[in-house]
């Protein structure tokens, strides 16, 4: 395969892991939001290509994950997420939006401006793979079955994203 030159560093945005189910949900929500923003920016970047509808679909999936996490937060905490969600739960969170894999959104967008659609899909495969691994590790380390199940479900969703991205990359490289 190809190697993405100067690809943003995975895990560049570090933040302390959550300790409670609500904190874990907040962390996952924040990452899904950043990844959704990336996919929407890529849809806008590739408006005259087949990339636009693909990235819009990927963004919609990330948005559905956010809704899932918001519902889960409400069920587990008894509170609706407010305007300060999840920062209120985790004040140590970075202020900059981050993607799955811990990549800063701004760095990913700058990198994408200089690369092809195929290279961007390859980078997305990288950060979705990282998210898959992270969610599996988070699930494995949990004693609370609810937390374990949450991260197992999210890992399976990321696996689906990987399939979609790989299939699309194969179509592009035909």
For residue 37, being part of any structural domain is answered with yes
Q: What is the mean pLDDT of the chain?
A: 85
Can you give the CATH number for the domain in which 41 is found? 1.20.1260.10
pLDDT of 54-106, one tens digit each? 999 999 999 998 998 898 888 888 899 888 888 888 877 777 888 877 788 99
pLDDT at 54 (0 to 100): 96
d(CA 100, CA 32): 7
- Which of 80, 74, 77, 98 is CA-nearest to residue 13? 98
CB 58, CB 168: distance < 8 Å: no
pLDDT at 9 (0 to 100): 58
CA dist 168 → 118, 129, 172 (Å): 9, 15, 6
For residue 2, being part of any structural domain is answered with no
pLDDT at 93 (0 to 100): 74
Using a 10 angstrom Cβ sphere, with 0-12 exposed, 13-18 middle and 19 or more buried, the burial of residue 114 is exposed
Number of domains in the chain: 1
- Determine the structural domain holding residue 123 and report its residue range: 21-173
d(CA 24, CA 107): 24
């Amino acid at each position: 395969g190809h190697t993405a030159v100067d690809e943003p560093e995975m895990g560049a945005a570090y933040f302390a892991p959550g300790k409670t189910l609500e904190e874990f949900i907040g962390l996952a929500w924040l990452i899904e939001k950043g990844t959704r923003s990336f996919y929407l920016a890529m849809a806008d970047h590739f408006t005259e290509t087949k990339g636009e509808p693909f990235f819009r679909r990927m963004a919609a999936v990330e948005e559905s994950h956010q809704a899932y996490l918001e519902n889960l937060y409400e069920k587990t905490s008894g509170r609706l997420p407010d305007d300060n969600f999840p920062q209120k739960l985790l004040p140590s969170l970075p202020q900059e939006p981050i993607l799955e894999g811990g990549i800063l959104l701004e760095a990913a967008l700058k990198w994408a401006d200089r690369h092809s659609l195929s290279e961007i899909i390859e980078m997305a495969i990288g950060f979705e793979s990282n998210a898959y691994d992270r969610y599996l590790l988070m699930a494995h380390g949990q004693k609370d079955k609810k937390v374990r199940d949450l991260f197992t479900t999210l890992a399976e969703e990321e696996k689906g994203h990987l399939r979609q991205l790989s299939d699309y990359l194969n179509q592009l490289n035909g």
